[in-house]
A = this chain, B = another copy of it.
Amino acid sequence: MAAPIRIGLVGVGKIARDQHLPVLAASPDYALVAVASPHGGLDGVPSYATLEAMLAAHGDLDAVALCQPPQARFAAALAGIAAGRHVFLEKPPGATLAEVGLLVAAARDRGVSLFASWHSRYAPGVEPARRWLSGRRIRSVAIAWLEDVRHWHPGQDWIWDAGGMGVFDPGINALSIATHILPPFFLTGATLSVPANRQAPIAADLHFADAAGTPIRARFDWRQTGPQTWDIRVETDDGPLVLSRGGAALSIAGRDRPLPPEAEYRGLYDRFAALVRSGASDVDLNPLIHAADAFMRGERRTVEAFTD
């Protein structure tokens, strides 16, 4: 068994506490050495206000995982790479496409692994769905990603700022699955609904097509109360495939398929460990490209102001 990867976590917010820390605590591949956060640290773990302070104090860190908001991620990623550390990026890998291109080049030049993680691709139904769809004729796709922002992102003002992505923060999870299980597609039209007092959309209605003209429609909406919906329905010549609960459930032609329990972040950290041990990187920009395309090409309409 290889020695554990000595890792530091940057950004100790909701996603770090809910997902990263429990997986790191349970994995034999990692030793959590330190955390860095401007908003306070973690009991029992050496904690620093900045990545720079953490790197200075722990010269033997192998890797850093970056979980802070996307607007602040580039500087940290570049500093980590420049210090010769492998870098795990939460999704989305940056606030812009161009900055991720620079990180890819920097990681290659420095000889470290860069992993742009897309956690939803590690949902248990995704890989079986991808395999079943491969080679089948697809007639249409309907994606519905409907959730209650007040429940999932309470008081997260950064998500509403320019570059915070708004409803594309969850919606990009749907795009990360769709780009993984479907043939290449592109945006043909979009409507973005933006609250009067915010910069980022609260809802998006997206129309895509693949090269064969197959219609792919995605609706993202953060105004859903009651039951939450994270579904991708693919109509094929052999019946419908339905990936629901964000990829945790799969039915094909009306029959539920048995799946292992959800373990997305375990899957991500397994993948990152494999990348680090083999000296490779994994950066797929397609989900972020579709989001950027929607912001560039989408029609904006102003909707009711949103307050938390």
Measured CB to CB, the residues of A under 8 A from B are 71, 74, 78, 94-99, 101-102, 105-106, 162-163, 165, 184-187, 189-190, 199, 210-211, 286, 289-293, 295-300
Residues of B within 8 A of A293 (CB): 96-98, 292
Q: Smallest Cβ distance from A150 to chain B, in angstroms? A: 24
Closest to A184 in B: B102
Residue of B whose beta carbon sits closest to that of A298? B162
A3 to B240 Cα, complex, angstroms:
53
From known contacts A101-B186, A292-B292, infer whether A95 and B297 are also in contact, taking CB-CB under 8 Å: yes
A186 to B70, CA, bound (A): 14
Residues on the B chain within 8 Å of A163, using CB: 296-297
Instruction: Given A199-B300, A211-B78, verify A290-B98 contact (CB < 8 Å).
Output: yes
Complex CA–CA separation, A162 to B210 (angstroms): 21
Q: State whether A187 touches B105 (Cβ < 8 A).
A: no
Task: Indicate if the CB atoms of B291 and A98 lie closer than 8 Å.
Answer: no
Which residues of B have CB within 8 Å of A94? 186
Contact status A185-B292, CB under 8 Å: no
A-B contact pairs, 28 of them (CB 8 A): A94-B186, A96-B186, A96-B187, A96-B293, A96-B296, A96-B297, A97-B289, A97-B292, A98-B185, A98-B186, A98-B187, A98-B290, A98-B293, A99-B186, A99-B187, A101-B184, A101-B186, A102-B184, A102-B185, A105-B184, A162-B189, A162-B190, A162-B298, A162-B299, A163-B297, A165-B296, A199-B299, A292-B292
Known contacts A292-B295, A295-B295, A186 near B300 by CB under 8 Å: no
Cβ-closest chain B residue relative to A163? B297
User: A152 to chain B: closest CB distance in Å?
Assistant: 21
A186 near B102: Cβ-Cβ < 8 Å? yes
Complex: A163 Cα to B294 Cα, angstroms: 9
For the complex formed, measure the closest distance between the CB of A178 and the CB atoms of chain B, giving whole angstroms.
12
Residue of B with least CB distance to A164: B297
Q: A98-B289, A98-B290 are in contact. List 15 more A-B contacts (CB 8 A).
A: A78-B211, A95-B297, A96-B293, A97-B289, A98-B184, A98-B185, A98-B293, A101-B184, A102-B211, A105-B184, A106-B211, A163-B297, A199-B300, A291-B296, A296-B296
